[in-house]
Amino acid sequence: MAGTKKSKKAGKSGVLTGARATAARGAASRRDDSIESVAFVSLGCPKNLVDSEKMLGLLAEDGISPVPFDVAEQGEEVDAIVVNTCGFLEASKDESLQVIHDAIKRKQAGQIKRVVVAGCLVQRHRAKMLEWAPGIDAMVGVFDRDKIVEAVRGITQAKREARAKSAAEASDRPAYWIAANALVAAGERGMKTTGLTVNGKDGKGIGYFEDDSARMRLTPRHYAYLRISEGCNQNCAFCTIPSIRGKMRSKPLEKIAAEARELIADGAFELHLIGQDTTSYGDDIGQGLGAGGAGGRGLPEMLRVVSKAFDEVGVKDGWVRLMYAYPTNFSDACIEAIASTPRVLPYIDMPLQHASDRMLSAMRRNTTRKQTEALLEKLRRRVPGMTIRTTFISGFPGETEQDHKELLDFVREQNFEALGVFEYSHEPGTVAGTMEQDPKLAVSAADKARRRGEVMALQQELAFARQRKIAEEFDEKRPGTTGRRVDVLIDSTLRSHGKATSGVGAGGGLYQGRTSGQAPQIDSVTFVQSKAKLSAGELVRCTIVGADGYDLIAVPVDELEKKVSLKVMR
């Protein structure tokens, strides 16, 4: 399986030097021009990861062997490198360009033949890419993933001339496939687009016509991301997504069901439902809750379809986790569906961005603090054990100390189970980007950092106290009858071993896992100490016996239940 490059490692070049570099250049000069292997770097969000998995699947189907990127960095011979970029924030752009530059250096050193760049940065900054990174061999936009094989293999001059619209395109300049929007991409693929739109909410949309099946997954086998839609109907002042990915396009229910069955059959126990705005599912194709009548099925029906897919594959258990919800569109029907649909976890990822009405209005969030509080109260009341994860922005243009105080008060009152904070990033082309040009509205970098730090310090205080309280439910003198019991999904085996503790366990292996209230990569984890050997993907009934900051510590229930034998009296 091909490997992804974690964002925090993106600055490492991986360029070979010395004798190994000389040997690699010699090997490259002896090879023919065919492309037989590829290393893939996937940056950004889970939605980008799904794109990477699909492109890897297409390359593998065409006979190109994937090479894990970390192995390629260590000197494994590889013919091409594909960088699937993130262009959401300025920092994402810088990170992506660093990885691209590193790959180009390897090509210049004779270690690889081609550098292909795909994803959001290409879609957003297509006109500047070659200026920023000369040496790119091909570019693929977000609507053209199916062109990745041509991009990696390269196209002949005859093909170049056949598809060129000008003499410049027919030259030896890098080939590129970057459709302006989904409607254009559909038309180029021979689809009938008459009467269809990309307006997002009119019920006449072209929908998500691309195919996410037959992916080469980069996640562990036991969980997978299932995209239910692409693009966004919202018009948040700070966001670049609609300008990159377009308006919302929902994936038809039958395609979602088929893909869910495929992922479950491939071993996925946990499905993460993703999109830019999952609560608006179906609005663009006339199947949203607002459509009314028989067609108004929306998110609730989609959740039922995904849950049913487990039954159709013959899998009794499973987890379905809803991500990227939008508060404005969270109806009572959606809450009822989360509460009553089998396998749907009592967990919601819902970015709220702020709590001050002034800021919510400036951000164009179309909601108020009072409305948000009512929604959160309803979620917690209707869904027992509800976990709410959210994110906020500090230092948005015009944010005052009073606005910041309101956010702190809101965080303290709500006591969120998981929370993240981003410092506002100036993004050209957005409404907020224009606002920050006004000195009266701009927030200094120091204030952005300070405010973010204060929110995170408060969240740490609240989260640590919550985890300690959970841990205190366990009494080591009565290990079999005390403590909170939870199901833990094992993610990995850790190298270290747990130490024996009085009344708790006799040591053993140490494993990292997650409860239903913990999503991978973004939330805290649960460490499991077990004498038995556990495997990734195993669901283990555990008792929480301790806490370590944000994280929990657990032991399998059956290892805590002491068996007492009495002597037989004669």
pLDDT tens for each residue of the chain, 570 residues long = 333 333 333 323 222 223 323 333 333 333 335 899 999 999 999 999 999 999 999 999 999 999 888 776 766 789 999 999 998 788 889 999 999 999 999 999 999 999 999 999 999 999 999 999 999 999 999 999 999 999 999 976 455 555 555 444 544 568 899 999 999 999 999 999 888 888 878 888 999 999 999 999 999 999 999 999 999 988 899 998 888 999 999 999 999 999 999 999 999 999 999 999 999 999 999 888 765 544 458 999 999 999 999 999 999 999 999 999 999 888 899 999 999 999 999 999 999 999 999 999 999 999 999 999 999 999 999 999 999 999 999 999 999 999 999 999 999 999 999 999 999 998 888 899 899 899 999 999 999 999 999 999 999 999 999 999 999 999 999 998 999 999 999 999 997 665 655 444 556 799 999 999 999 999 999 999 999 999 999 999 999 999 999 999 999 999 987 543 334 444
Nearest to 363 by CA among 374, 372, 375, 352: 352
Distances (CA, A) of 481 to 484, 515, 544: 10, 20, 12
Evaluate if pTM is beyond 0.85.
Answer: yes
Nearest to 138 by CA among 187, 182, 178: 178
Element (H, E) at 115: strand 114-119
**How does strand 249-250 pair with strand 270-274?**
unpaired
Q: For the stretch 245-281, what's the b/e string if a residue is b when 16 or more beta carbons lie within 10 angstroms of its beta carbon?
A: bbbbbbbebebbbbbbbbbbeeebbbbbbbbbbbbbb
Task: Report d(CA 309, CA 294) in Å as an integer.
Answer: 22
Task: Report d(CA 205, CA 285) in Å as an integer.
Answer: 5
Return the half-sphere exposure (C-beta side, CA atoms, 13 A cut-off) of residue 271: 28
Token pair, residue 173, equals 């300049």
